[in-house]
Amino acid sequence: GGRGKTTLVHKVLKRERVKGKFNPIIWLPFSGMREEEEQFSRFSFETCILDHLGKTLDGRIVDLGKILERLNQLFSGKRYLIVLMMSG
């Protein structure tokens, strides 16, 4: 830690050239999360992307296939960038 990785990523994502090429740009900080923690669901990564986009699924989805189908609908034909930051 402490090497400026997060700062570097922020600077890159703020560049107009990057913003112009990708839509959406999704930043998912997963710092300190562990799979055994209660709030870390089976499909945490996928559902966090939907949450970030302000999209919801009908009812409580526990089927990864349905989540991925929804993501495919949202990203089809788009150039997108997903940044996943994991730290201790």
Position 45 scores a pLDDT of: 77
Q: What pLDDT, in 10s, does the model give residues 47-74? A: 888 888 887 666 665 678 888 888 999 9
Maximum mean pLDDT: which of 33-37, 38-42, 69-73 = 69-73
Which runs of consecutive H residues, i.e. helices, occur in 22-87? Answer: 44-52, 64-75
Residue 15, burial from CB neighbour count under 10 angstroms (0-12, 13-18, 19+): exposed
- Structurally, the chain folds into a number of domains equal to 1
Q: How far apart are the first and last CA of the chain?
A: 8
Domain containing residue 76: 5-85
The backbone torsions φ and ψ at residue 21, rounded to the nearest 5 degrees and listed phi first, read -95, -25
Position 80 scores a pLDDT of: 94
Q: Which two tokens stand for residue 79?
A: 């150039």
Position 86 scores a pLDDT of: 73
Please check the confidence at residue 88 and state whether its pLDDT lies above 60: no
Q: What is the pTM of this model?
A: 0.69
Position 38 scores a pLDDT of: 44
- The strand pairing partners of 33, in sequence order, are none
Position 9 scores a pLDDT of: 87
